[in-house]
Amino acid sequence: MTLEKYLSKFKNSPQITLVGPFYGDVHDHVHGHVQYLEEPVIFVDDGARWRKSGEGIVVGDGDSFDGEMDVKLNPHKDFSDLAFALSPIPEHFGEVNLIGFLGGRRDHELFNIGESHHFLRARKSPTMIKFDHAMVGYSSGQWRFERIGGFSILAVEETRVGIIGDCRYPCPQTTQFMPLSSLGLSNVGAGTICIDCDRPVFILFEEV
């Protein structure tokens, strides 16, 4: 079964979950199986370790998982397994949950964020990507989230951002955020925060 054919079975689903290799580091599990995940679920390469029998679909090049793949990729490709898994996700999926894609090799982690940015940049419908409980990415538009505690706003490309609501450092006039600028570093939330952005941004939540 192709990834596109699998996803076509969930035309009424608003969200999708992708499982990566570090799922077990951030979520409780029993006997090595993912629990309480509703389909659609895409297990990306070594994320397949957490698959229940017959659940979801497994894609990858097998460089970190030697089990059976539903969609086996060429290991000599010039794109990541995550990039491949994200690329065919239809527009009706407005929430993409990435579980277990932070940690491990720093280059993989950074490029996972980069591929998520490209995915959000191409979306025509409002879309968010959640990385565990540590970070959320938003496509361009107006968004709101609840936060009690520290957070930072990261732009990967030049982006105009406005911030209002219950936070220590609002930015009511939209301001140019340069790529990887520290302008959005170390804010503090005290309730509902609204942002307006003309390019994707990532909200990083300070661990407590």
User: By the 8 A CB rule, do 18 and 96 touch?
Assistant: yes
pLDDT range class, residue 46, cuts 50, 70, 90? confident
Sheet holding 135-138, edge to edge: 71-72, 57-60, 41-44, 15-19, 95-99, 128-131, 135-138, 201-205, 141-155, 187-197, 159-167, 171-177
Hey, what are 97's tokens?
Answer: 């949950």
Q: How far apart are CA 146 and CA 191, in angstroms?
A: 5
β-pair partners for 203: 136, 153
Mean pLDDT of the chain: 91
Task: Give the pTM.
Answer: 0.90
* % of the chain exceeding 70 in pLDDT: 94
Q: How far apart are CA 153 and CA 135, in angstroms?
A: 10
Residue the block writes with tokens 């302008």: 183
pLDDT range class, residue 35, cuts 50, 70, 90? low
Distances (CA, A) of 81 to 58, 84, 108, 125, 202: 11, 5, 11, 24, 21
User: By the 8 A CB rule, do 146 and 165 touch?
Assistant: no
Q: Which alpha helices (H) appear in 16-70, and where do they start and end?
A: 23-26
Domains of the chain (ranges; CATH) run 12-133 (3.40.50.10240), 141-205 (no CATH)
